[in-house]
Structures are given as C-alpha cells and as structure tokens.
Amino acid sequence: MPGIVKVGAAQSGPIQKDEGRQAVVGRLLALMKEAHARGCDLVVFTELALTTFFPRYYADDRAEMDSWFETEMPGAATRPLFEFAAGNGIGFSLGYAELTPEGRHFNTQILVDKTGAVIGKYRKVHLPGHAEHEPERTFQHLEKRYFEPGDIGFPVWRTLGGVMGMCICNDRRWPETFRVMGLQGVELIMLGYNTPSGNSLKPEESAETRMHHSRLCMQAGAYQNATWVVGVAKAGEEDGHHLIAGTCIIDPDGFVVTEAETEDDELVVYDCDLDETKFLKETTFNFEAHRRVEHYRLIADRTGAKPPPED
C-alpha cells in the first residue's frame, strides 16, 4: 500500500551486566522474527540495544569501558540480525556504542534497509549527565565521560517508501532535534531511549513525571513537525537501576496510537501511513509559508540563556 510503512517498535526489557552479546542478539532476533511474522517493513530497536546501560558505572580509566563498544557493524555477534533482515526483506534501526578505527566513541543508531545494507548512521548529539564522578547523585549518568557529541548532525534518508530520520534518547528533549529533521521533510523519526525512572538530583521526582516528560517531548516533536515518531525503550531493572518503559508510536497529530504494556521485550506494531503527514505539512506547518527566520537568530547563535540584567 503506497504510503503505509508497517513499523515494529521492539522494546527491550532489562539487559544485565553479565548478559553477553550473543544472548542479547538472540532476544533482538526473536523480536525481529515476530515483526516479520506480523508483516512489518521496519523494526526499531532501542538505544544501546546490545548492552546494559553502562554509563551508570564510573571507571577511572575510560578504556575499561571499551568492552561495551562495537568496533565493527555488523560484527560477529550482530551479523545474524543483518542476515535475517536481508533474507526476509525487513529493515531495522539499531542503537549501539560505536568505537571507530580512529578511537572515537559515539552513542550511535544505524538504519539498515531491506537488503541488509547500512544506509544511515546517526550519532547522539545531546549527551546528558556529566563527565566526572558526582557523589552527591543517587546514581551516575556518565554519557559525557564515555561518548563524544555526535559529528553527523541530524540527517534524513529517503528509504522504505518515505523520508526517515533518527535521534537518540536525550535528543528528544531538544526541539531543535525535531525541527532540523522537519526542515528536511521528515515523515517518520525513530528513536531509542534508556531513561532512568528516577532523577539523580531530585529524588522526589516521580516515575510518572519522567514518563510525562518523555511523552510530552515526543508528542510535541511529532505534531510540530508533522511527522510520525517511534519511541523505543530499554525498560525494567538493570543491576538495581530502573528504566521507564512506555515504548510507543505517535502519529503526526501527536496522538499515541499504540504503546507497550510491559517492561519486558515487547513488540508494538502499527501501520504508519506517511501520507498522513501531508495535510499538516501543507497547512499549519507549511514552514515556507509561516516561519520567520529573521527572528530566530538567537536559537543558533546563543548556547546558554542570558536573562536581562536585574535592575
């Protein structure tokens, strides 16, 4: 059917520290096989889908964490995903920790088409948390220690019958992420997230509030850029640390059209009609007709907020 992409949002349950790549890939392959059996064109896996969320651990020597990274993609452990995809005509997106031949570290997501070819790569731009051990926190979140900010920007790709984009986790909290892809006509954005259900600096913040913030960002991003958004969690308790679930698919009007019900490996499927993005792109969010870029300079020129001087 023209315009329809049958998407499988493949939520991961928790991945424990001692769970090897082969076992994890076995879980992902089971989700991919279910997606294929249910007729999916595309399976979206989560952020850092091959390992536990290791940025919660402090290591003096950063090189100690290199074992959590992939030096090749596909590699021996991940090849079964590519082989099944190519053999069964299903595309997929996969989040993982990337260690480049030059020794650079990124939090990365790739887009693989129905032939099993890697046609897109995105490297997480917005790294939350901190780079040094901060004892006052109830838990550490050391993405700034182990990853570099992405150096690819926010590209989109014309594939799988539409204009596809990717981002990762904290990126969804920054409207610029969605707008840069919106300005390239994106019709479906896929993102994974590993989001702790607690706030390490505000213990009283509830898991419901964390879920609210997560949904709010994705629903706003979808509507304000007239695009589908597929948000895929790594969920549940890893080494005593709980991550929110809430994997969902959001339509261009910002409605959550389907969502996961568990905190385990769970596939959520929906027929995303990319033609449903057209009306808003041609009316309310016809960027060419309505945007006034001459008034937006601060967004690109100023990094931090500068309130007016106090009198």
Residues in contact with ligand ING by the rule CB under 6 A: 128, 169-170, 173, 193-195
User: Is residue 169 flagged as an active site residue?
Assistant: yes
Distance of CA 160 to the CA centre of its chain: 18
Of 109 and 170, which CB lies nearer to ligand ING in the complex structure?
A: 170
ω into residue 55 within 30 of 0, thus cis?
no
Distance of CA 80 to the CA centre of its chain: 22
Q: Which residue is nearest to ligand ING (CB)?
A: 170
| Cβ-Cβ contacts under 8 Å for 251 (sequence gap 6 or more) | 222, 228, 257, 272, 276
- Per annotation, catalytic residue among 70, 143, 167, 169: 169
In the complex, minimum distance from the CB of residue 140 to ligand ING, in angstroms, rounded to a whole number: 12
Q: Cα dist. 55→65, 66, 80, 138 in Å?
A: 9, 12, 26, 14
In the complex, minimum distance from the CB of residue 143 to ligand ING, in angstroms, rounded to a whole number: 6
Of 74 and 95, which CB lies nearer to ligand ING in the complex structure?
A: 95
**Whole-angstrom distance, CA of residue 94 vs CA of residue 78:** 10
Of 78 and 195, which CB lies nearer to ligand ING in the complex structure?
A: 195
**Whole-angstrom distance, CA of residue 84 vs CA of residue 87:** 5
- The three-class DSSP label of residue 226 is coil
- Per annotation, catalytic residue among 70, 98, 124, 281: 124
- Per annotation, catalytic residue among 47, 98, 187, 238: 47
Q: Report residue 299: phi and psi, to 5°.
A: -60, -40
In the complex, minimum distance from the CB of residue 286 to ligand ING, in angstroms, rounded to a whole number: 31
Of 36 and 145, which CB lies nearer to ligand ING in the complex structure?
A: 145
In the complex, minimum distance from the CB of residue 106 to ligand ING, in angstroms, rounded to a whole number: 13
- Active-site residues: which are they? 47, 124, 169
